[in-house]
Amino acid sequence: MAQVIDGKQLASQVLEDAAAEVEWLKHHFESVPGLAVVLVGDDAASQIYVRNKIKRAKEAGIASFEHYLEADTSQATLDALIQELNDDPGVHGILVQLPLPEHIDEARIISSILPEKDVDGFHPANVGALSQGRASLVPCTPQGCLIMLRHVHQDLSGKNAVIVGRSNIVGKPMAALLLQENCTVTIAHSRTRDIRKVCQEADILIAATGSPGLIQSDWIKPEATVIDVGINAIEVDGQRKLIGDVDFDGASQVAGAISPVPGGVGPMTIACLLLNTTRAAKNQLT
Ligand SMILES: Nc1nc(=O)c2c([nH]1)NC[C@@H]1CN(c3ccc(C(=O)N[C@@H](CCC(=O)O)C(=O)O)cc3)C=[N+]21
């Protein structure tokens, strides 16, 4: 049986680090890190995530500013809110929950956030910095995955890492981080030929497809480390249930280590968001 990587436990350690940073900022600079969270529309899952983020922020001593906007909010109104948050010295981090409604230009909103307040790491300036291996605000989910991998492996150098999924928020930044760790990185996706065979070569397999249970035990190299980024809500007997992109029961018979869903990458993502917020606040000290 594979080692199960406990995301909740690791996340609580990261949250402790964030809380210690907050204390340091308060004590030495009388600065309280502030995180603004913007949610447009009333998607139920998004509301759960946003509530979790705010709860954890409070626990870490971070001030949170919540902005809930109607689904039919105009681009101009959202633009104006971002400007206001950019100009607010008490706000060190801005998170605009994605996806945004169809009529909003997502790329324009992301680009309008000050890069130093972009705690998601999605601004082109931060994406460019990560791609060039310069220090920056790194997207929270890949950062959390890397902490999980480092928990299992002292050295990732030379390992074959296969990332399934090529999104801007997980797949691509994950590839950049693993390249920095000297992995041999492959990004597989929906058009990849014989994707199962590609995955079978992976010492490290990152599943970020949004396709529930796609990855089966026979895709996995014996003793590989599997990180499941998928968080898919399905209904079983009228009950909401979360499952990952990996068939956990099968995969854990083959893998050396595996992260579960829930209790894996999700809590790590939130913890890294708060760590990014304290980093952003530190960088904004005048
Ligand atoms: N700008 C932006 N940044 C994000 O980081 C972002 C986003 N938009 N949009 C949506 C996704 C999704 N996401 C999750 C974070 C934590 C859990 C999480 O904590 N999940 C718990 C379970 C929570 C539950 O019961 O639903 C777990 O996996 O154990 C899930 C999902 C962040 N996202």
Q: Which one-letter DSSP state was computed for residue 218? A: G
233 bridge partner residues: 242
Q: Looking at the structure, tell me whether residues 147 and 232 fall in a common domain.
A: yes
* Cα 126 to middle of ligand 1, angstroms: 21
* Cα 194 to middle of ligand 1, angstroms: 30
Taking the mean position of all CA atoms in its chain, how far away is CA 253?
27
Q: Looking at the structure, tell me whether residues 96 and 155 fall in a common domain.
A: no
Query: Is residue 69 included in any domain, yes or no?
Result: yes
For ligand 1, atom 19, the nearest C-alpha belongs to 266
What would the pLDDT profile of 4-28 be if each residue is shown by its tens digit? Answer: 999 999 999 999 999 999 999 999 9
Q: Does pLDDT of 45 surpass 90?
A: no
Q: Looking at the structure, tell me whether residues 151 and 257 fall in a common domain.
A: yes
CATH of the domain at 168: 3.40.50.720
166 is in an annotated binding site: yes
Q: What is the mean pLDDT of the chain?
A: 97
Number of domains in the chain: 2
Alpha carbons 126 and 87: distance in angstroms, whole number: 19
Q: Looking at the structure, tell me whether residues 147 and 259 fall in a common domain.
A: yes
ipTM of the complex: 0.94
Q: Is the CB of 170 under 6 A from ligand 1?
A: no
Count the neighbouring beta carbons within 10 Å of the beta carbon of residue 104: 20
Query: Is residue 13 included in any domain, yes or no?
Result: no
Q: Looking at the structure, tell me whether residues 85 and 41 fall in a common domain.
A: yes
- Over residues 140-166, mean pLDDT: 98
Among the atoms of ligand 1, which is closest to the Cα of residue 141?
5
Query: Is residue 8 included in any domain, yes or no?
Result: no
Query: Which residue, 57, 53, 56, is CA-closest to 39?
Result: 53
Sheet holding 204-207, edge to edge: 3-4, 257-258, 225-228, 204-207, 160-164, 184-188
Q: Which domain holds residue 242?
A: 140-266
231 is in an annotated binding site: yes
pLDDT band for 243, please (50, 70, 90 cuts).
very high
Q: Does pLDDT of 44 surpass 90?
A: no
Q: Is the CB of 231 under 6 A from ligand 1?
A: yes
Q: Is the CB of 52 under 6 A from ligand 1?
A: yes
Q: Looking at the structure, tell me whether residues 234 and 195 fall in a common domain.
A: yes
The pTM of this model reads 0.97
Q: Looking at the structure, tell me whether residues 201 and 85 fall in a common domain.
A: no
What would the pLDDT profile of 111-143 be if each residue is shown by its tens digit? Answer: 999 999 999 999 999 999 999 999 889 999 999
Q: Looking at the structure, tell me whether residues 87 and 47 fall in a common domain.
A: yes
* Count of positions (residues) in the chain: 286
Q: Looking at the structure, tell me whether residues 151 and 259 fall in a common domain.
A: yes
Query: Is residue 242 included in any domain, yes or no?
Result: yes
40 bridge partner residues: 69
Alpha carbons 121 and 110: distance in angstroms, whole number: 9
Among the atoms of ligand 1, which is closest to the Cα of residue 8?
29
Q: Looking at the structure, tell me whether residues 194 and 239 fall in a common domain.
A: yes
φ, ψ of residue 248 to 5 degrees: the values are: -60, -45
Alpha carbons 232 and 45: distance in angstroms, whole number: 10
Query: Is residue 151 included in any domain, yes or no?
Result: yes
pLDDT of residue 32: 97
CATH of the domain at 63: 3.40.50.10860
Query: To which residue do tokens 């928990």 refer?
Result: 151
* Cα 36 to middle of ligand 1, angstroms: 16
Alpha carbons 141 and 229: distance in angstroms, whole number: 8
Query: Is residue 175 included in any domain, yes or no?
Result: yes
pLDDT of residue 286: 80
Among the atoms of ligand 1, which is closest to the Cα of residue 95?
1
Q: Looking at the structure, tell me whether residues 90 and 162 fall in a common domain.
A: no
66 bridge partner residues: 37
pLDDT band for 109, please (50, 70, 90 cuts).
very high
